[in-house]
Amino acid sequence: MSPKQPLTTKQKDYQKLENKDEIKRPLLRNCIKAFLVGGFICLIGQCITVFYIYFFNFTEQTASNPTVSTLVFISMLLTGFGLYKKLGQLGGAGSAVPVTGFGNAVISAAIEHRSEGLVLGVGGNIFKLAGSVIVFGVFSAFVVALIKTIFQLIGG
């Protein structure tokens, strides 16, 4: 069966009916919650950045690295105690888009697959969810950087 198979009229009719009875996602409420939760996480990030600037030898530019690590650490604690999924249900993208969500994806997969052993379970599945982020990040960055370098070589 090809996925592009056109729907029959019966299917179309049903989907119309189904659409009517389906509970819609509360878009506005979800967006507000995502805004608040996401903003809140970034605010914590900003606090941590300032903390690193004040007390360690990090400049504004370099402080984002330890900030990210600290946030991932917080994410580990929340994930381990089963709180991050509650935050995720509350905040939606607000908790998925910040780097804590990336951490959560990695850490939850690691915890989940511990039962299959350290090598095949944890090692093999740790990037089950977050792997695509890395793959697409690296590949798109490669393309972008390559084009930019070539332009600079030609233009500059």
Partner 1 sequence: MSNRKAMKVLMVILIACLFITTGCMDTKKKGDAKWALFKTTNPNPAVLNETSEEFAFSEEIHKFVLSFPEIYDAAIVVGDKQVLVAYKVKQMQRFKMKKIEKKLKKKLEKKFKDQNRKFTVSSDFKIFLEVVELNENLKDEKYSRKKAKKHFKKIIKLEKEKT
Partner 2 sequence: MLPMFFWAFVIGGLICVIGQLMFDVAKLTPAHTLSTMVVIGAIAAGFDLYEPFADFAGAGATVPITSFGNSLVSGAMQEAQTHGIIGVLTGMFEIASSGISSAIIFGFIAALIFKPKG
Partner 3 sequence: MLKGKQSWTFANAPAILTTGVTGGEMEGEGPLKDDFDLLYDDNYVNEDTHEKAHRKLLEDAVTIALKKGNLKKEKVQFFLAGDLINQITPTSFAARTNSIPHIGLFGACATSMEGLALAGFLTNYNGAEYVLTGTSSHKGAVEKQFRYPTDYGGQKPPTAQWTVTGAGVALVGKSVGILKPIPKLTSATIGKVVDMGLKDPFNMGGAMAPAAVDTIMTHHKDLDHGPNYYDAVITGDLGQIGNKIAYDMLQEKNFLIDRERLIDCGMLIYNKEQNVFAGGSGAACSATVLYGHILNKMKKGLYKRILFVSTGALLSPLSFQQKETIPCIAHAVAIEFA
Binding site for partner 3 (CB under 8 A): 1, 3, 7-8, 10-11, 14-15, 17-18, 20-26, 30, 79-80, 82, 84-89, 91-93, 95-96, 101, 104-105, 107-109, 111-113, 115, 128-129
Q: Pick from 22, 21, 23, 19: which is nearest to 11 by CA? A: 19
Q: Specify the stretch interacting with partner 1 by CB under 8 A; choose among 22-30, 39-47, 128-136, 146-154.
A: 39-47
Tell me how far, at minimum, the Cβ of 24 lies from partner 3, in Å. 8
Q: Specify the stretch interacting with partner 1 by CB under 8 A; choose among 43-51, 117-125, 126-134, 139-147.
A: 43-51
Site for partner 1 in 87-116 (CB under 8 A): 87, 89-90
Encoding tokens for residue 10? Answer: 């019966």
Distances (CA, A) of 63 to 69, 70, 75, 101, 137: 10, 11, 18, 20, 21
109 lies in the binding site for partner 2 (CB under 8 A): yes
Among 11, 15, 65, 89, binds partner 2 (CB under 8 A): 65
40 lies in the binding site for partner 2 (CB under 8 A): yes
Distances (CA, A) of 52 to 39, 55, 62, 76, 89: 20, 5, 9, 20, 31
What does the chain come to in residues?
Answer: 156
111 lies in the binding site for partner 2 (CB under 8 A): yes
Tell me how far, at minimum, the Cβ of 10 lies from partner 2, in Å. 23
Determine the angle formed by the axes of helices 27-55 and 84-91, rounding to 10 degrees. 130
Among 2, 61, 115, 152, binds partner 1 (CB under 8 A): 61
Report the distance separating Cα 67 and Cα 44, nearest Å.
9
